[in-house]
Amino acid sequence: MKVVVCVKQIPDPADPGALDPETKTLKRDSKLILDESDSYGVEMALQLVDAAGEGEVHLVSMAPNNEVAGLRTALAMGAASATVVSDDALQGSDALGTAKVLAAAIARQEPDLVLAATESSDGYTGTVPEQVAALMDLPSVTFAKSVAIENGTAKVQRQTEAGYDDVECPLPALVSVTAGVVEPRYPSFKGIMAAKSKPVDELDLAGLGVDASQVGWAGAGQEIVSIAEAPAREAGEVIEDEGDAYERIVAFLDDLKVL
């Protein structure tokens, strides 16, 4: 069984950067890391291949300058190989443009199953997985909190507003997974060493066969018209508990007449 996992490499959330008011893109000066949201998909893929007894996990990422720092983390966890798509023309891509690139790169792998996070930690549009599935004409199950494969069918528990649904979906298919679907492993030292020599296929748009007019600034069907500081919520009073702080909370609730 071949599983492809979509992987985003993002700025360290501890140092998220800022929107560049000139170019209206995210400034990504710091080193990129594996989006933690994607570590769940990588782990899920490894466990499914393990359970199937055969197959491998391939990673697909779109990133500036053939960035692989985040991919190496996922390779160290156990993925076999990766594709990274980089091209200057990709700058400014919106979610749909990104999905077009990912779909083309994934299709080359002819996977049985595509896994993705429900949303990235930095952009959180949460639409890319479903767009990729639509572009590839694949059925999909989003918001999975558990995934198993039985007889060529994905059995998924899908989160709903009120609880969850059991969903069955024949492969090939795309499944987007929530954080908490599995506990991601930490790369072992051996894994980290092995990751350095695992194959990473570097592609540009021409190599991928995607027209530059479909992606980047040229393809984006949306435009940021303004970026402004939001009105901040003012912090109130902060007190240190000395055994009687609960009385202050009770008084606060009494003042609001909510009890």
Partner 1 sequence: MGLDKIWVFGETNGDAVASITLEMLAAARDLADTVEVFMAGDGDDFAEELGEHGAETVYSTGDLDGGLQGVAVAAAVAAAVDDGDGPDAFLLGTTQDGRDVAGRLSVKLDSPVITNVVALEADGDELIGSEPVFGGTTDVRTKNTSGKAGIFLVRPKSFEAEGVGGAEADTEDLEVPDLGAVGGAKVTNSYVEESDGPKLDEANIVVSGGRGLGEADAFTMVDDLAKTVGGAAGASRAIVDAGWVPYSMQVGQTGKVVKPTVYIAAGISGATQHLVGMKGSKNIVAINKDPEAPIFAVADLGVVGDVHKVMPALIDALKAR
Among residues 193 and 253, whose Cβ is nearest to partner 1?
253
Q: Are strands 153-159 and 140-150 parallel, antiparallel or unpaired?
A: antiparallel
Among residues 197 and 239, whose Cβ is nearest to partner 1?
239
Q: With CB under 8 A, what is the number of residues at the site for partner 1?
A: 78
Cα–Cα–Cα angle for 253, 255, 256, nearest 5°? 65
Q: Which stretch binds partner 1 (CB under 8 A): 2-10, 75-83, 107-115, 164-172?
A: 164-172
| Contacts of partner 1 in 49-68 (CB under 8 A) | none
| Sequence-distant (≥ 6) Cβ neighbours of residue 6 within 8 angstroms | 38, 41, 60, 61, 102, 106, 114, 115, 116, 117, 128, 129, 132
14 binding partner 1? (CB under 8 A)? no
Pick from 110, 150, 163, 213: which binds partner 1 (CB under 8 A)? 163
Secondary structure (3-state) at 204 = coil
Pick from 25, 91, 170, 206: which binds partner 1 (CB under 8 A)? 170
| Contacts of partner 1 in 106-145 (CB under 8 A) | 118-119, 121, 124-131, 133-135, 137-143, 145
| Contacts of partner 1 in 143-162 (CB under 8 A) | 143, 145, 158-162
The span from the CA of 210 to the CA of 219, in Å, is 11
Q: Which residue, 62, 67, 47, 33, is CA-closest to 3?
A: 47
